[in-house]
Structure 1
Amino acid sequence: MSYPREFKLMVIDYFYTNGLNKYRTCKEFQITKSMLNGWLTKADKIRQSRPGALKSGRSGRKPQFPAVEKQLYELYLEKVSQGEKIGNRWLRETARNLAAEQYSSKELNGMCQFSERWLSNFKRRFNIGLKTEPVRSGSVYSTIKSEEEDALSTCSEEQPSESSVTSSTTAQMAQAVLQQSDQLPIRAFYEKFPWLCKKVNHQNEDSGSEEKTPRGRKVQFPEVEKRLYERIQQEPHKVSNKWLQEKAREIAKDLNVTDEQGKPAVFSEHWVLNFKKRFNLSKNTDL
């Protein structure tokens, strides 16, 4: 079973807040010492990686021509500000021209040829072609500046995202996971915090906003569903579909969440079915 980013952060924080005892940490979470050592060594990269990621962020190689990419991005912003539409062909040809002006043919021979793969990674690094507008990211430029001397790597770096889990909550998560003594901690983590195990591209703090599920369907009220699932975990008795709908409406009312037309959210039977499916709950009427 894979270990998501949030589980690793929980283990790391547990280690530092419980006497720096590796033996105890490994025993509690049933992981190997080499796994713990690896996570502790890569703690900063893990925190910078995307929520739900199974691999540490920035683990890929660095771009070959960071200075060229920076100049290309500046030209791209200039064109866009003038109302011009920029295509993939323009990006690749301009990148080749910029590289030819700054590097000799010997330096370019056998190096990155600004392929489709490079283009995809370049657009990911600078948030081009995503839903958000391109922005001048200081973190992007600072990263590129530190990498300008490295010309032997390939282009496969990912843009970091903000943390979805803070150290103030990991202690409570660890306690909830370790209480499930009848199963592996990682399995208990997946069952108790399924929304933390799903990789997302952009976090949305607005409780009434939409996010996509792995199948592309939109979850209209992600914060409502998250809080409802937490309430289910605290409920000692079985709950019915009617109970789910009523509690969802109460939570939506507390959060002042409405549908697209500004009306109170309905939370129909169809929604209940999809909610159960998203959180791996029983398909029967009673949970």
Structure 2
Amino acid sequence: MKELIINKNDSGQRLDRFLKKYLSKANQSFIYKMIRKKNIKLNNNKAKPETTIFEGDTIQLYLADETIEKFREEIKIEKSNLDLDIIYQDKNIILINKPVGILSHSAKKESSNNIVDSMVYYLYEKGEYNPKVEKTFTPAVCNRLDRNTSGIIIGAKNYPTLKVANDLIKKKKISRYYKTIVKGGIKKDKIIEGFLSKDEELNKVAITHNKRQDSKEILTSIKLLNRSSHYSLLEIELITGRTHQIRAHLASIGHPIIGDMKYGDTITNKYFKEKYDLQSQFLHGYRIKFNKTYGVLAYLKGKEFIAEANEKFIRIEKELF
């Protein structure tokens, strides 16, 4: 018999979901069968799959060590050569300024030089994360940015933080602001509306003014920061957060982002590539604000964090405006 003591990083979830992560190679029917046959108990009592487990609870696994080993997946920490640009961190949260060209999450054919794996490795090296102690939790990020969009990524060092931060983002209690330069002159601040549908095969979205069966409503807030004869410097706030929303939405109203190879203007992109070697969209998630918080992140209420753009973006902005 093996006994597991639930810690704060496993607390607050359903028993069956915890077991599916702990015995990650086992199928759901096996886990349900073991619970039903009392081969898995909670606090030495008959358990129910939907029961919420809390810190201090104990789970008894009346399974052979070989069976547990067979269904367990070893957590491997991949060494990362990525030098993280950390703009803030404390015992719960870590804010990382993601550069252009780096993935937020790992991909099958990619190396460990993505934000998630690099963050896990960084916390492992610091001694803040130990996979041998944790049963199911791995540090995770709460938001994503496109590969060629730079800016602030919110990382959670523990499960309570991950749960609260995800909830705050979902309920729009954390405001996320992006800085971008678009073609053409935008005259005033405004909120633009539309409907977004995604083509999974092409990894591209389309914006329409009328709702389609597969489309989702989008709202994008535009604040004019500066304007020249040919370009506008904008601050964008995502009211809804959909795939490629900012890029596609701005392009749909005739103001594509400079450098955007997927939704941008070919002639404009060619000019900026030749003059500045700009090979990605000028889009930087430069500012976040914790408007309302609670629980483990209550102390961040009203706090604002800013991440500086790369040197190329800074140079383009200065020369255009």
Q: TM-score, normalised by structure 1?
A: 0.24
* Higher RCO structure, 1 or 2 (CA under 8 Å, sep 6+): 1
More strand by share: 2
The structure with more helix, counted as a fraction of residues:
1
